[in-house]
Structure 1
Amino acid sequence: MGAMTNSSPQAPHAGTDRALPYTHRCTGRWACRPPNPAAMTCAPIFALRRLFTAPKAWPHGWHPVPPGGLIPHRSPTAKGQPVPHQLQHRTLTDAVRDGVHRHPERTAFVYLHEDGPDMRPEEIGYAELDRRARVVATRLREAAKGDPTRPVLLLYPPTLDFVTAFIGCFYAGRTAIPAPLPDEPGERLARVSSILRDAEVGAVLTLPEYRQAIGAWLTATGIPDVVCLSTGAQDDAGVDAGLWVPPAVRDTDVAFLQYSSGSTSEPKGVMVTHANLAANEEAIRTAMRTPDGVVTGSWLPLYHDMGLIGMTLQPLWVGGTSVQMSPVSFIKQPHRWLRMIHDYRVEGTASPDFGYDLCVRRVTEEQSAGLDLSTLRVALNGAEPVRAGTLRAFVQRFAGHGLRPEVVLPSYGLAENTLLVSSGDTEAPHLELTVDAHALERDELRPARSDRAGRILVGCGRPTDTEALIVDPVSLEVLPDGRVGEIWLRGPSVAAGYWNRPELTAQTFRAETADGRSGYFRTGDLGALLDGELYVTGRIKEMLIQHGRNLYPQDIEQAIQDSGEAFRRGGGAVFTVTGRADGRSHVVVVQELRARAAAEDDLPQLAAAVQALLSRRFQLAGVSVVLVQQGVIRKTTSGKTQRTLMRQLFLDGALPVLHQRLQRPVADLLPATDVTPEPAAASPRP
């Protein structure tokens, strides 16, 4: 197979045994059109079949609608209740072995490496994946020191070697820990060091070129009996895969530790059991209607839950093919993701919201020429707040390339629920609500009185295998439809807890409502249910409480970034600090500027414009504004803004500031400042 180019291959999937990844069989239920005659696919037109009467419970016929105004039929499950399903496999090992039995030569994974302007594919089939996993498992067993059940830390760049090592841990019955390979000394190395100690790691797997450096690092940590093994063709040569002994695995055994991204706190090891993984993979398969042999494509990090569980393990679960590229390849050239979908006729993909926005802003007409996205059945948007504007812009930009509106699905998930909690309907457009912004500040969903006072909320679909409740985080009372509270979850996908943190596990994973319902996981996320649809509004720890009003930082950040071209999209962090003298909460905005978007003389005017905007739009007086260069705002591996970390960096005086306008109580908190603080502004009446 040649390098990835702008041509549109008409041949069957390279390395697979299927001529077409998916063909819709028209049964007369839908009026269909053929967006791609060469592929003989067709897609439903919802205007003819999907209308129903608006719910009468809402004033003046107000109800959530898709962007086009059509009302989709929704499956008749109880509000917040899970959709039932049956398990296809008991463990990931069972899934891979089943794939080997049914189609050993089918391509399991394709990894696209940068090769100049093109992408060079590296492939591995099911039989070879199984053989290499058995070799890794055998080597782990033979090299074990001390307790052979201690977790295994995986430190790899984004390659197929990570996949074989991860599955090899399952074959060995060892708990795997996917983690980012530190590219240089600093914060990321400190994070991995904390994982090493917290998890009491017994072995580290990596590539040969990193083994010496990692070995020296392990020696420096002083943790005893940690084995460092490198995997690959040379290291695995001479190891007989036939020596592999299938481990005795219980459903309750911890399959892997998913260390949380740490958007509001220190990373914690989420214990995902084999039963959790099986339940969530089945939930994804059911919700996405994933066909056997599906082809997925992704640029997401392999150590992140959406990239690992959704885009890497889900295709394995159904005997499919996963096509991958590195996040760096995507960020440098976003059109490569879309070209991957075109070239490999990908049916399922996923990305945080910023990935879709990046394609809209940076993919040129020349780069998208000849692009065919009609094979896409599912394009999940999740891992960070889903913006209605991004969904609309992405669909509009690529509708001429076969992209159907119902393909782009908002979703909600988190590591503590293995991955997926809820998602949109694959056979209907997503839902949107335009709510009154002032009522939302009082934790109520009410119809907007005008466009200026409205905020658009995107529905994240119905819960999959998980029961969802909306609970008052203080009184623990279960809230009715249309009220905003903390999202609580209960179901087979909810993880076993946090590694080595029994007290936090009891508080977070064993929560009980005021009326005595128990066994719920407290997400720390805020949201509401409406007719079974879940709407996520923010994070409890990041909420800005000003004069009795609950403001969401992402709303303020988006308003700033929409107000001028100089402000970089996705490059803002809003948080509060408490004045030392007055004891009051003060709002601070840290906002990146686009490269070469503003002259130095323009910076005071830009900061003043932000203050004026927030006073006018959100009735926030006396906001402190910090302007920084592109790349300063810290993000998690999934693209979430780390507002808690940004707050600490600000208080430490560790931000490289271009210009700032600080209120006196805020400036007094910093170690030192060479700016003249503004006088405290008069606060608006609540």
Structure 2
Amino acid sequence: MHRTLTEAVRAGVEQHPDRLAFVYLHEDGRTTRPEELTYAELDRRARLVAARLRQESRGDPARPVLLLHPPTLEFVTAFLGCFYAGRTAIPAPLPDEPGERLARVGGILKDARVGAVLTQPAHRQALAAWLAAAGEHDVVCLAPEDDGSDPGPWRAPDTRPDDIAFLQYSSGSTSDPKGVMVTHANLAANEEAIHRSMLTGPGVVTGSWLPLYHDMGLIGMTLHPLWMGGTSVQMSPVSFIKQPHRWLRMIHDYRVEGTASPDFGYELCARRTTEEQAEGLDLSCLRVALNGAEPVRATTLRTFADRFAAHGLRREALFPCYGLAENTLLASAGDTTSVHVELDVDVHHLEQHELRPAVAGRPSRTLVGCGRPAGSEVLIADPTTREALAGGRVGEIWLRGPSVARGYWNRPRATDACFRAETADGRPGYLRTGDLGALVDGELYVTGRIKEMLIHHGRNLYPQDIEQAVQESGPALRRGGGAVFTVGDDQRERSYVVVVQEVRPGPGGDLDLPGLAASVQSVLSRRFQLPAAGVVLVRPGAVRKTTSGKTRRTLMRRLFLDGALPVLHQRLEQPLAALVTAPDAPAPHPAPLAAPGR
């Protein structure tokens, strides 16, 4: 096993310099155009970035380097260049849109006390102006020009396994993003856990459309092939959303063995890929298709497997797993040689935090097993008493092992609370994930998030169950486009359940919005005994998601109360409507950062 990613890449350069390390598929009309990078060329470009970082005399070299690139090969060379220079990298999205993304990157800039920004030449001027406007005059903005020359011999930095390799800013489904400190040792341990779980071999080929700055896209689909001396094939998320079948065509063309996506990606691909687009596809090469974002739906796995079985897709390839940035990435995974496990449980007992087999004639829920521990110890604990719970009991998922990151950057209190948990009987050193789940016969079942649980009249309701029931009740209610949360009314000492749901017009283009809202309330009353729930219908794209596809329910609750949702129609009881702030006139957006002429 290599000690660091840099060692793994340098071994690849020596052993197979002409092997493809990366292929990036650029959009080219309705097709794609490949850009390729060999191990030798990757090494040369990374040495160029490292040399530029070392030549820059301004700023503190101990401060992290923020990477702001579009999802192309330049991001990969910049990331590896930071490793070559012994600098701590921060992968982040290029803030080329006004509003939320710009605010997020600005928050990362200040929270991490960034010392330098790496970007492409086309974006340098706009980013330098943004830094100046933000008062970050001591942050250097670098855009190394590649003239094709060799920067000279590489001098290995004095990197220790416990040094921080990069900061992975969490996607923030329930809170403000925090920088997870991933050490070189953490990364090595998790790459080995992925290797053992996925049974990847030397020269493995992976391919995905996931963002390169997200943990699954970065560690699983971009860095793991480098760890194994293999090849990573990438396309942008936008390219996938426009034409989902491009993902399948990538797998076919490059004989991809491993891929990954949140649940919604599989659902979208199965629903929108036409027979004409699927013609001639051979997916028999695909051994592992990771599905690792909450929730993993049994119906999605079945639909995707059935849709593409005729094209060589093996049902065993669909690979539910569980992971999070605080554990570097992977925490549990299934078996590549057998079909994933499903468990039908009784809803009443699930609401009481217990998994019991479903009973005929009573409401049930199908849970998808996320495999067994992968390089980490998994413990289910009562989040209040910290007592370890027996199998079948639902509690907070705690992790312990070499993949658990060092903590949150510059947040000692949050680090102690999250990364230094101790059980009631005195076992220390656990990571509190904030996720709910249970172990049954060694299999991990993830049921939801503690902060998003709906407590209504003594019942513990999972928002994803309500969202799914609503979306399955009619074709105009967009799959994956809902957010359910509660709003408290202190004066009346009661809470209201609110459903925000995206709608899309049918073939005729018209929608009966009042009728749709009434039908949603009927579903909530009939299925969940929630007769006074509020319903807000919005346009497609209004429900906010993290980079991994998780619904940002906490943010949606805040937007609802602030009157900031693009409402098409809503049904709210008067006491609930009174809690919503009347929207002010929209504030002007800050100017986006983009390449000239974009």
Is TM (by shorter chain) over 0.5?
yes
Match of 2:123 among 206, 210, 215: 210
Match of 1:508 among 418, 422, 436: 418
| 2:272 corresponds to 1:362 | yes
Equivalent position of 1:331 in the other structure? 241
Equivalent position of 1:298 in the other structure? 208
Per the TM alignment, residue 182 of structure 1 is displaced from its structure 2 partner at its CA by 1.0
| 2:110 corresponds to 1:200 | no
CA distance in 1, matches of 2:553, 2:280: 41
Q: Which amino acid aligns with 1:101?
A: E
| 2:480 corresponds to 1:570 | yes
Per the TM alignment, residue 98 of structure 1 is displaced from its structure 2 partner at its CA by 0.4
Equivalent position of 2:158 in the other structure? 248
Q: Which amino acid aligns with 1:229?
A: L
| 2:531 corresponds to 1:621 | yes
Q: Deviations over 1:116-166 (max 9, x none)?
A: 121100001001111111111011011142311110000000100000000
CA distance in 2, matches of 1:230, 1:153: 12
Q: Deviations over 1:559-614 (max 9, x none)?
A: 00001001000000000000142121110000000144787671111111111111
| 2:464 corresponds to 1:551 | no
Equivalent position of 2:591 in the other structure? none
Q: Deviations over 1:15-35 (max 9, x none)?
A: xxxxxxxxxxxxxxxxxxxxx
Equivalent position of 1:128 in the other structure? 41
Contact 1:104 1:127 in 2 (8 A): yes
Match of 1:421 among 326, 331, 348: 331
Contact 2:174 2:555 in 1 (8 A): yes
Equivalent position of 1:473 in the other structure? 383
CA distance in 2, matches of 1:553, 1:266: 20
Change (3 A) 1:601 1:180: closer
Q: Which moved more, 1:637-646 or 1:140-149?
A: 140-149
Change (3 A) 1:232 1:311: farther
5 Å matches for 1:633-648?
Answer: 633-648=543-558
5 Å matches for 1:381-530?
Answer: 381-450=291-360, 453-530=363-440
Equivalent position of 2:590 in the other structure? none
Q: Deviations over 1:29-54 (max 9, x none)?
A: xxxxxxxxxxxxxxxxxxxxxxxxxx
Alignment partner of 1:233: what SS? coil
Calculate percent identity across the aligned residue pairs: 74
Q: Which runs of 4+ in 1 moved over 6 A?
A: 597-601
Match of 2:136 among 220, 223, 226: 223
Contact 1:383 1:414 in 2 (8 A): no
Alignment partner of 2:455: what SS? strand
Per the TM alignment, residue 243 of structure 1 is displaced from its structure 2 partner at its CA by 4.7
Q: Which amino acid aligns with 1:390?
A: T
Q: Which amino acid aligns with 2:416?
A: A
Match of 2:80 among 153, 167, 175: 167
Contact 1:298 1:307 in 2 (8 A): yes
Alignment partner of 2:294: what SS? coil
Alignment partner of 2:167: what SS? strand
Match of 1:176 among 58, 71, 89: 89
Q: Which amino acid aligns with 1:160?
A: L
Equivalent position of 1:66 in the other structure? none
Change (3 A) 1:207 1:502: same
TM score, norm. by length of structure 2: 0.96
Equivalent position of 1:371 in the other structure? 281
Change (3 A) 1:598 1:449: farther
Change (3 A) 1:665 1:580: farther
CA distance in 2, matches of 1:601, 1:143: 59
Change (3 A) 1:343 1:306: same
Q: Which amino acid aligns with 1:581?
A: Q
Equivalent position of 2:592 in the other structure? none
Q: Deviations over 1:51-109 (max 9, x none)?
A: xxxxxxxxxxxxxxxxxxxxxxxxxxxxxxxxxxxxx1100100000001110110000
Match of 1:308 among 208, 211, 218: 218
CA distance in 2, matches of 1:452, 1:360: 30
CA distance in 2, matches of 1:595, 1:494: 45
Contact 1:580 1:669 in 2 (8 A): no
CA distance in 1, matches of 2:278, 2:59: 55
Say what the alpha-carbon RMSD is for the aligned residues: 1.2
Contact 1:138 1:243 in 2 (8 A): no
Contact 1:165 1:231 in 2 (8 A): no
Equivalent position of 1:15 in the other structure? none
Contact 2:52 2:144 in 1 (8 A): no
CA distance in 2, matches of 1:299, 1:622: 41
CA distance in 1, matches of 2:507, 2:113: 48
Equivalent position of 2:188 in the other structure? 278
* Bigger-Rg structure (1/2): 1
TM score, norm. by length of structure 1: 0.84
Q: Deviations over 1:150-198 (max 9, x none)?
A: 1000000010000000000000000000000012221111110110111
Change (3 A) 1:664 1:344: same
Unaligned runs of 5+ in 1: 1-87, 674-686
CA distance in 1, matches of 2:166, 2:99: 25
| 2:262 corresponds to 1:349 | no
Equivalent position of 2:594 in the other structure? none
Q: Which amino acid aligns with 1:121?
A: P
5 Å matches for 1:146-165?
Answer: 146-165=59-78
* Aligned residue pair count: 583
Q: Deviations over 1:348-392 (max 9, x none)?
A: 000000000011100001100110000011000012210000000
Q: Which amino acid aligns with 2:216?
A: M
Equivalent position of 1:48 in the other structure? none
| 2:6 corresponds to 1:93 | yes
Per the TM alignment, residue 545 of structure 1 is displaced from its structure 2 partner at its CA by 0.4
CA distance in 2, matches of 1:489, 1:258: 18
CA distance in 2, matches of 1:384, 1:531: 21
Equivalent position of 1:583 in the other structure? 493
Unaligned runs of 5+ in 2: 584-598
Equivalent position of 2:28 in the other structure? 115
CA distance in 2, matches of 1:184, 1:628: 21
